Homo-oligomer: A and B are copies of this chain.
Amino acid sequence: MSKYTMFGQLKAHPGKRDELAKLMLESADTLEGMEGCIFYIINESVDDPDVLWIMELWENAEAHAASLKNERVLAVIQRCRPLIAGVSGVPVRPIGGKGL
């Protein structure tokens, strides 16, 4: 199966990015031991003070989909939801490179 990448945007409600980032970092802790997650890097946008960008690499799309059914992940999503104004992303498909 092919590796799976995501570049997803979380837009916080105005002024709520730091709080959202804190919760998302806990989410990353949750993923630390999760099978199939190679990296899950949380970035701040440099030019939008309310935006986080998440850079993810998974062993395959199935591992990513499975993580979204994990109870601990669902609990983090639930806690983040009130802080989030919008979710979007850049649809991509990895084709190669170092670290893939």
Residues of chain A touching chain B, judged by Cβ–Cβ distance below 8 Å, are 5, 7, 21, 24-25, 28, 31-32, 37-47, 53-55, 57, 90-100
With A41-B5, A55-B55 in contact, do A28 and B92 touch (Cβ < 8 Å)?
Answer: no
Contact yes or no, B39 A97, CB < 8 A: yes
Contact yes or no, A99 B39, CB < 8 A: yes
Residue from B28, B41, B95 in contact with A57 in the complex, judged by beta carbons closer than 8 Å: B41
In the complex, A100 Cα to B25 Cα: how many Å? 11
In the complex, A44 Cα to B93 Cα: how many Å? 5
Closest to A30 in B: B98
Residue from B57, B91, B96 in contact with A42 in the complex, judged by beta carbons closer than 8 Å: B96
A40 to chain B: which residues have CB within 8 Å?
97-99
Contact yes or no, B94 A32, CB < 8 A: no
Residue from B7, B37, B46, B92 in contact with A91 in the complex, judged by beta carbons closer than 8 Å: B46
Residue from B41, B43, B90 in contact with A53 in the complex, judged by beta carbons closer than 8 Å: B90
